[in-house]
Amino acid sequence: MAQTLNNQITREPYLQAPSPSEITVRWRTNLMTRSTVFYGKDERNLNHRTDSLQYNTEHEVRLSGLEPDTRYYYRVVLPKDTLTGKIFSFYTLPQKRLSETYSFALFGDPGSPGEDQIKVRDAVMKYYADKKMDFWIQLGDNAYRHGTDQEFQNDFFTPFKEMLGHYPSFSTLGNHDYHDVDFGSKYAQTTKSNVYFKIFSLPARGEAGGVPSGNSSYYSMDVGHVHLISLDSYGIEKNGKMVFDPGSAQYEWLKQDLQALENHRGFIIVYTHFPPFSKGTHDSDSDSIMIGMRENLLPLLERYGVDLLIGGHSHAYERSPMMKGFYGKSAEFDTKYAFREYRKNVEGFGKADLYKKEGKEGIAYMVTGNSSATSASRYPDFPHRAMKYSNDRSSGAFIVEVQKNQLTMKWLTGNGIMEDAFVIEKDFRR
Ligand SMILES: [Fe+2]
């Protein structure tokens, strides 16, 4: 006898492309249906609804007309089902006001299933138990080993189900997200046909500020007075250029996006998968992608006032001083490139390094590619000489807190210990 197949939610709701007034809710069902989201400010009265009348198994509904920095409750609904879907909540992004504070977490290489992944996730959620997390970022390699849909389902959507349903997130592309089990990475790198692009709704149209990139591989947005830029480090463009080569579409867009920030009174943070400096599980002295990123992009990022660059890929934690003019190999690093440091107390950590940035140029570099797996460096010259602090033993995630002209960074390990912290203080009058 034929079995009856009931319609079910097979991928729980996840929040994408937030702004102060809009957010995208996505989910998956096993059968094609229309899409409805009920939402409202009162959990017991979800008095708004948005529908999409197309039949889909991949549901994508954009909620609009929302108030900034406001908590909304929502529930996705299956046809003829008005009560059974689980209720989640989210906050819309805040609007630009210098007095406000923001906080977000970054998970580097989060898609390796196992104990480290769960411990780091739980440590971050415990940290935010009594604080607001505005959003979180995945730094690429979101599902091992090949970024297939099944791997995304098992190793990303399942362990991060609660976080994805309650906190909007942004993603950047990793090399494993570019694996293509059918035709090879190069095919995906050039055609962008990988599953990643089907899964994530990224703000390529300037949904939350920034110059529209028109390309989901890279984008930017504003959260309050923080401008965030996500760069692809592994794609190949139609003309054969790597995405970090001058003349590539990404490079030219990046320049425009940075030029538009000339009078920006705030922070500029770049995140990307391949870091320019590392001696963790990858060596930036010899890795051609890391060298290409470093030599082509760093002078540009410096010139336009980027403050912090965060990468993953290397399964370690590494943090440089604030520095300027250094684009070389580890052995070539000299303290003349590093800014003078001060000290400042960070709650939960103690005396931390304080980087004061008075001029336009100076970037602090972070690697945090170990939120689901860590691995001892295989390079005898670990740590990288440009790094102020390196750790290849603990897995962890990275928390950024913004308050007026101070950025506080905290590295939280899977054991719930804050093993590193530092502060960037910037003079916005420059
Ligand atoms: Fe990677």
Q: What is the pLDDT of residues 189-242, one digit of tens each?
A: 999 999 999 999 999 999 999 999 999 999 999 999 999 999 999 999 988 999
Cα 109 to middle of ligand 1, angstroms: 7
Q: Is the pLDDT of residue 96 over 90?
A: no
Separation of alpha carbons 57 and 60, rounded Å: 10
Domain 101-426: which CATH class? alpha beta
Mean pLDDT of the chain: 95
The tens digit of pLDDT for each residue in 136-162 reads 999 999 999 899 999 999 999 999 999
Cα 426 to middle of ligand 1, angstroms: 31
Q: Among 33-37, 61-65, 414-418, which stretch is predicted with the lowest mean pLDDT?
A: 33-37
What local confidence, expressed as pLDDT, does residue 84 receive?
60
Q: Please check whether residue 167 is in contact with residue 138, taking contact to mean a CB–CB distance below 8 angstroms.
A: no
Cα 131 to middle of ligand 1, angstroms: 30
Domains 9-91 and 101-426 in one fold: no
Cα 34 to middle of ligand 1, angstroms: 37
Q: Please check whether residue 274 is in contact with residue 313, taking contact to mean a CB–CB distance below 8 angstroms.
A: yes
Q: Which helix (H) or strand (E) holds 272?
A: strand 267-272
Q: Is the pLDDT of residue 82 over 60?
A: no
Cα 313 to middle of ligand 1, angstroms: 4
Cα 282 to middle of ligand 1, angstroms: 9
Mean pLDDT, rounded, for 267-296: 98
Q: Residue ranges per domain, the chain?
A: 9-91, 101-426
Cα 399 to middle of ligand 1, angstroms: 20
Cα 275 to middle of ligand 1, angstroms: 10
Q: Distance from first CA to last CA of the chain, Å, rounded?
A: 75
Tell me the two tokens of residue 16: 């994408």
Cα 148 to middle of ligand 1, angstroms: 15
Closest CA to 120 of 398, 324, 430, 423: 398
Q: Is the pLDDT of residue 308 over 60?
A: yes
Cα 310 to middle of ligand 1, angstroms: 13
Domain covering 9-91 in this structure, CATH number: 2.60.40.10
